[in-house]
A and B are shown apart, each in its own frame.
Chain A
Amino acid sequence: MKITRVTPRAVAEPGGLTYLVVRVDTDEGVSGYAETTAGPAPQVTVDQLKRELSTLVGANPFRAVQIDEALKSVQASLAARAAANVACLDILGKATRASVYEILGGPTRHKVRAMAVLGDASEDMLRASVLAAKQEGFRAFSVPLTMPSGKERGRRFYTGIRSTLDGLRGAAGEECDFVLDCAGRTSPGEALSIADRLAGFHLLWMDEPCGELSATAQASLAKGSAMPTGYGRGFTDVARFQDLLREDAVDVLRPALATHGLTAVRKAAAIAETYYVAVAPFHRGGPIGTAAGVHVCAALPNSFVQERPFSTNSANRQFRAAISGWDEKPSDGFFPLTGRPGLGLAVDEHVLDAHTVAR
């Protein structure tokens, strides 16, 4: 089998979320799909991926590692390498009539825990989003930390976080779990104070409690509290995860699917396994990325949850289901495994065409 064409394009959801969809065609009529980030200038990213991925034409899509080594040798972008990896696995799965999680050695479970990523909003809107997501089948929610506009913190900042989370759990029920997404905006000291204030709440974990600091600084929360911490959405190399693990700095690895693809996430997970550390792939894009995340989580022994962006906008939800042929709905907190070949999606090119913003 040979790759005959690679087609990246940027698509925009009705709500504005934009991401890249990459289609890889072969001479045997099997096509694979992948998704990656659009970046701040989607047309620039599309042009770059076109250039980088054109080198795949003529390659055997079953040689995912060989292809990645070739892309790495020409300093191709991480987005290109991640997309090539996922699309090749999709093709291999379809060609062998196996789900991607089966190709990867799974399943290790028959369903994958799901988490709804909620957007920035007022407390009332957050509560409405949690309830809507729960209605859709989620039992775990990633809640953004709202930071004061200035430098002032004060006790009210910390008590407010606790109050918001208590309110959300009160509304959603004791069976619901939360991640506090700090998005790298807190300092290590602030993160420690928040962790202290949240004692007994049992967050799943605090996500990205501080930004791209040294591993020692990033470890300060883990060393100073019992609060589980998640890191890694911005890491561009698996080796960074190994550094954090060596520092005892992380409880949940958060490799971004759009940056790493599936094989590298699997490698990060293999490193984490020997530290008894879980993996929850970071994903803030579309349904093809969600599907890829569900597949890798289904294959890993130490995955915990796969997140996806949640929107109360019904047009968004309809769009995502239309382009992928999958409604991304969990059942009682878990994504079911479909068992369909490859990523198990039925991508609708017509809907993609209608929402393409760069090609």
Chain B
Amino acid sequence: MNRRDLLKASLLGVAAPAFGQAPPASSGLGCGDCFAKEIALAMPAAPRLKVTGVKTFGVTSDALPRDRPHVFVKIETDAGVVGWGEATLEGKAGAALQAVHDLSYAVIGQDPMHVEHHWQSMYIHAFYRSGPVLGSAISGIDQALWDIRGKVLGRPVYELLGGPIDERGVRGYYHLRPVLPANAPYREQVAAIRERAEKFGVTAFKTGIPGYYEWIDTHQRIKEAIDQLHVLREVMGDAIDIAVDFHAKTSPAVALQICREVESLNLMFVEEPCPPENVQAMKRISDRTTVPIATGERLITPYGCRELIEGKVVDILQVDVNHVGGVSALWKVAAMAESSGIVMAPHACEGPVGAVASTHVDAAMPNFLVQEICSGVEPDAKDALWQELLGYPAMRMVDGYYPLPTKPGLGIEVDERALARHPFGGTKPFVLLPVHEDGSIASP
């Protein structure tokens, strides 16, 4: 028996107990002619419990950005234990909802405890690997499986990952959102935000840069961005960390000019100083400035992060638990980054289920820096919606930290009656669809 036969025999051994009959042998003639396709789904060890259903919930509300109806995943089991996950995908809600159903074959009838096995099945058996739609669907299912795993074992997910490292919870940052009327001068807005930050113990914020940029841009636009950041540091003071999201609006040429002229501000990081597809372009920026460079919210699966880590292109990775592949993949990316001295600041600008899932993984990362949430220092309508859905003020910091849930699994309970009050209203495009003054497409 050669090695191929050995492999075949091992697979046959898996198949027989699960399906009651030997699978058809491969002819070996056709491309992709492989009997392993269905066999690998079967794990014959006596399951603790079985997945009986995968349900999805789309949530549309005026309290949310129009491109971001929340996509929640509920996995049900024959033991009555249910798990919740999130597959929200900005601007592609309908596709994400459908993709979760497309992948449900991988877990229905299976033991939900085998989360790594199911992750591999969803990713590898999909044939066309990766991409944000598949990544988000895997993420939602993976989070729900981890929720079930924790509930069955009676422990919070972060404990199954060896955490928490910091008993206070997970350090976070808010976005710089106006707290005064919109027409208030910039300095006054920042001063008011700083006042509230000091009151609530918030230690970090993220802001953007004004307007939209062409690949080479004018003195006026570049100076406006630089001046605004200097004002921000001056008014915010030296004790609060400031991150700046370029949001991939800039080219390396433009981003570098801005980065070099804000180095003295000791920013926490500059995020997406250019679009993420070209790793060498990102490296060109990070090689030429002392500002820590962050990216990653659009990266899918650990494979999508490898080149950035291998080349030590960035200082901070910001993968998103709702896109990268859930709890399993976020943990792996953090492990990959740790060996290269890269720290983690996971992205979270979708719904509360994924955000809470992210904090569980954060809590077990030795190389954790800070967790994002797309909220302001003052709670708004979205925070009220999240409280309605989860029954508590989810992802609101206490003294600069998101408190960790203490109940098993993800430690949250989603109110399905509340979900029903905000039915899915269809897919909507990104909030902004900007163009330059000459009508050409600008990056939002």
Contacts and interface: CB of A to CB of B under 8 A. Distances in A.
Given A107-B43, A267-B338, A92 B328 contact: no
Contact of A103 (B6, B114, B160): B160
A106 B113 CA distance: 7
B443 to A, nearest CB: 28
Contacts of B119: 301
A68 B305 CA distance: 26
B263 interface: no
Given A69-B165, A202-B3, A108 B116 contact: yes
Contact of B3 (A173, A177, A337, A339): A177
Contact of A65 (B1, B165, B302, B332): B165
Interface string A159-185: 000000000000001110100000000
A219 B440 CA distance: 49
Contact of B159 (A62, A104, A173, A177): A62
A267 B335 CA distance: 5
A111 B155 CA distance: 26
A238 interface: yes
B45 A110 contact: yes
Contacts of B164: 63, 66
Nearest to A267: B335
A65 B340 contact: no
B422 interface: no
B364 interface: yes
Interface string A238-268: 1101100110000000000000000100110
A157 interface: no
Contact of B117 (A62, A92, A98, A107): A107
B366 interface: yes
A105 interface: yes
B264 interface: no
A102 interface: yes
B366 A65 contact: yes
A181 to B, nearest CB: 19
Nearest to A62: B159
Contacts of A337: 45
Q: Which of A109, A110, A246 counts the most B-chain CB atoms under 10 A from its CB? A: A110
B335 A266 contact: yes
Given A63-B162, A65-B165, A108-B120, A271 B336 contact: yes
B2 A174 contact: yes
A96 B339 contact: no
B166 to A, nearest CB: 8
Nearest to A139: B6
A268 to B, nearest CB: 8
B113 A102 contact: yes
A110 B116 contact: no
A274 B303 contact: yes
Interface string B1-37: 1110110001000100000000000000000000000
Given A66-B163, A239-B340, A273-B332, A107 B45 contact: yes
B307 to A, nearest CB: 9
B237 interface: no
A98 B332 contact: no
B378 to A, nearest CB: 34
B3 A270 contact: no
A21 interface: no
Contacts of B3: 177, 202
Contacts of A104: 116
A299 interface: yes
B391 interface: no
B46 interface: yes
Nearest to A242: B339
A105 B117 CA distance: 8
Interface in A86-112: 88, 92, 96-98, 102-111
A242 B153 CA distance: 33
Given A110-B44, A275-B306, A66 B335 contact: no
B293 interface: no
Nearest to B310: A246
B153 A96 contact: yes
B116 A92 contact: no
A64 interface: yes
Interface string A33-73: 00000000000000000000000000000111110110000
B45 A339 contact: yes
Nearest to A276: B303
B155 to A, nearest CB: 6
Contacts of A270: 302, 331-332, 335-336
A274 B123 CA distance: 13
Interface in B163-213: 163-165
Interface in B95-139: 113-117, 119-120
A64 B165 CA distance: 9
Interface in A281-307: 299-301
Given A66-B163, A301-B120, A175 B1 contact: yes
B232 interface: no
A110 B40 CA distance: 11
Contacts of A102: 113, 149, 153
A110 B43 contact: yes
B434 interface: no
A339 B46 contact: yes
A241 B340 CA distance: 11
Interface in B341-381: 364, 366
A106 B116 contact: yes
B426 interface: no
A98 to B, nearest CB: 5
6 contacts: A62-B155, A66-B162, A66-B165, A107-B43, A110-B14, A274-B336
Given A106-B114, A107-B43, A238-B338, 13 more contacts: A66-B164, A68-B162, A104-B116, A106-B116, A110-B44, A173-B1, A174-B1, A241-B339, A267-B335, A273-B302, A274-B305, A299-B116, A337-B45
